[in-house]
Amino acid sequence: MHYLREQDPEIYEYIVQEEQRQHEKIRLIASENYTSRAVMEATGSALTNKYSEGYPGKRYYEGQQLIDKVEAKAIERAKTLFGAEHANVQPYSGSPANLAVYLAFLKPGDTILGMALPHGGHLTHGAKVSISGKFFHAESYELDRSGILNYDKVREQALACRPKILIAGFSAYPRILDFERFRRIADEAGALLLVDMAHFAGLVAGGVYPSPLPYADVVTTTTHKTLRGPRGAMILCKEQHAAAIDKAVFPGCQGGPHNHTTAGIAVALKEAASPAFKAYAAQVVNNAQALAAALVSRGYNLVTGGTDNHLILVDLNNKGVSGRTAAKALDAAGLVLNCNAVPFDTRKPFDPSGIRLGAAAVTSRGFREAQMEQVGKWIDTVIQHCDDTAVQAKVADEIKELCQDFPAPGLEHLVR
């Protein structure tokens, strides 16, 4: 980055420090990962210079000969990888992707039904503070007291409120969703079924999580998280909905696509079709389950008792510490995660009762079950000593040493 260093040394230094942080800390935020150097190069390419409103073969600006090839390749790879009839790779991120789906099929005030935010849903599934909860009549289904999704109750609620769109998806639910059951509920309620697989798309691609594509009318996903691509999104749908989706993305919700991101998505999709990625996805689940077991053995209360995917939700009420206090102490010790609400949480959202952990990024570094056991031990040590900066510093040093043996993709140059 010598040009950046010369032109803007301040921003250069911030980036260098961020690279170092990502290298020497254990990143457990469930929505984060590492991209390959190839994805980074694509997203940092000259494609960022081009404006390309429209779709391949139907652009509003000239000079699109190569841009069309890039986007067409990303579309082709998305359709092949996930078995989709149609793919739109232009959404800037997951939230605009969901908004485009609403624009395609809803009018203001129409009813949507999704998982409640405090129970593991996402802001864009109808939370009152989100546009999805302000422009539409949003109903929410909740988990039962054990933290498990009760499909009978979802059915009852769907039949009572008759949503135009039924949403299946989550940001903090550690189990597998029954897409066939959701399909039956949607059909009975006369709803379109939207699956938001942003968190588990990479696990679907790797064959370790059921695909929603055979059951959903529309599927949205981010392209980072478990898929290990750049910060972007895609919408996959049946051919009958293709025109409505494309029109909702452009010109409905946004203008020109970010072509450098589209190229990065194409690269990531090619990587996700490889045998190595399938092995990676399987190890993500193995690592999450190993970390869950390590925490349970130390007396931690996990929502649903464990995990079937890449994430873990820990209820800290029995440990006498709040989620934010724990997250701050763990960050100081080199264990980066986020505080998170748990079902039926009595604490405020900014300082909830739980923490959320994910295994996607550490698996990209090559961590396996033995390292996850050590991570669980460190988490317990820090939480037991949330006010002890000396303990946090000691753990941070131990983590830096471990991370030297597990270079992060794209940051291998930082290994001493």
**Which residues are designated catalytic?**
51, 53, 196, 222, 225, 231
Separation between Cα atoms, residue 286 and residue 298, nearest integer Å: 19
Q: Is 117 annotated as a binding residue?
A: yes
* CA distances to 119, 168, 329 from 345, in Å: 9, 22, 21
Q: Is 190 annotated as a binding residue?
A: no
Token pair of 335 as six digits: 């264990």
Token pair of 89 as six digits: 């790779």
What DSSP designation does 275 have? H
- Contacts of residue 8, Cβ cutoff 8 Å, sequence gap at least 6: none
What DSSP designation does 318 have? G
Query: Which has the closest alpha carbon to 123: 103, 97, 104, 148?
Result: 97
- What count of other Cβ atoms lies within 10 Å of the Cβ of residue 334? 23
Query: Which has the closest alpha carbon to 264: 227, 229, 213, 216?
Result: 229
Q: Could you tell me how far CA 190 lies from the centroid of its own chain?
A: 29
Q: Is 239 annotated as a binding residue?
A: yes
- What count of other Cβ atoms lies within 10 Å of the Cβ of residue 27? 22
Q: Is 121 annotated as a binding residue?
A: yes
Q: Is 169 annotated as a binding residue?
A: no
Residue 84 φ/ψ region, left for φ over 0, alpha for ψ in the -120 to 50 degree band, beta for the rest: beta
Query: Which has the closest alpha carbon to 302: 175, 118, 149, 117?
Result: 175
Tell me the torsion sign for CA atoms 127, 132, 134, 140. Answer: negative
Token pair of 47 as six digits: 């494609």
**Token pair 């820990």 in the structure block, residue:** 314
* Binding site residue list for (6S)-5,6,7,8-tetrahydrofolate: 117, 121-123, 239
* Binding site residue list: 117, 121-123, 239
